[in-house]
Amino acid sequence: FRDFFGRRQPRRREQSLGSGVIIRSDGYILTNQHVISRAEKIRVQLAGNRIYSARIIGADPVNDLAVIKIEAPRPLPFLPMGRSDDLMIGETVIAIGNPFGLQHTVTTGVVSAVGRSLDSGKNSRRNPSDFIQTDASINPGNSGGPLLNIFGELIGVNTAIFRKAQGIGFAIPIDRARRIVDDLIHFGKVRKAWVGIVLQDFRSRLASRVGFP
């Protein structure tokens, strides 16, 4: 028993792969929270095989979004954010990512639907509503990559697929992501809105006290 329990088990080293998009010239990168979840080290590889170490600025598991940052010696090209509230069914979209490690893969498709809700399971903390559905090919490794319109503007963050289907992928609309990104950059987390209103049942005693029948 001493020999069995005294042995130290070798530590397993695991790696995962995802995508991201530079959203500011000073090195801020938008990706999915599940891409960097529980990561001890994060490395970002840009075009031209430049590799940088990244640090987590903030993450939001509910909306599955995260912002990381790299320190580059010079300003970086970045992708401007567009709009997702004016998307039309059938509109052409472009997905970019690293499916199965194939760097900078580009696929095209159309907006299949908007406002899609997904069943994330009873124990999931993720927000399952308001996704862009597209038939642009999205595979493992595309998570966190950009979904673009034909003007090259960022309109969504590729997030999920149906594993049992082909041509059914989902992206987080950029209009929802924009507010979350601002909170993550400035506060490191999403600040929930607080109105300062307390609700209570309007019963007969309260009604007579305020002069209602």
Q: Write the CB contacts of 62 (distance below 8 Å, at least 6 apart in sequence).
A: 125, 126, 127, 190
Q: What are the residues whose beta carbons fall under 8 Å from the beta carbon of 25, sequence distance 6 or more?
A: 75, 76, 77, 78
Residue 181 phi, psi dihedral angles, 5° rounding: -60, -45
Distances (CA, A) of 138 to 27, 97, 118, 186: 25, 8, 16, 31
Could you tell me which residues come within 8 angstroms of residue 94 by beta carbon, excluding any fewer than 6 positions away?
106, 107, 108, 136, 147, 148, 149, 150
> Closest by alpha carbon to 34, among 82, 8, 73, 66?
66
Please list the active-site residues: 34, 64, 143
Let me know the angle formed at the C-alpha of 170 by 106 and 58, rounded to the nearest 5 degrees.
Answer: 90
Structure tokens at 47: 């075009």
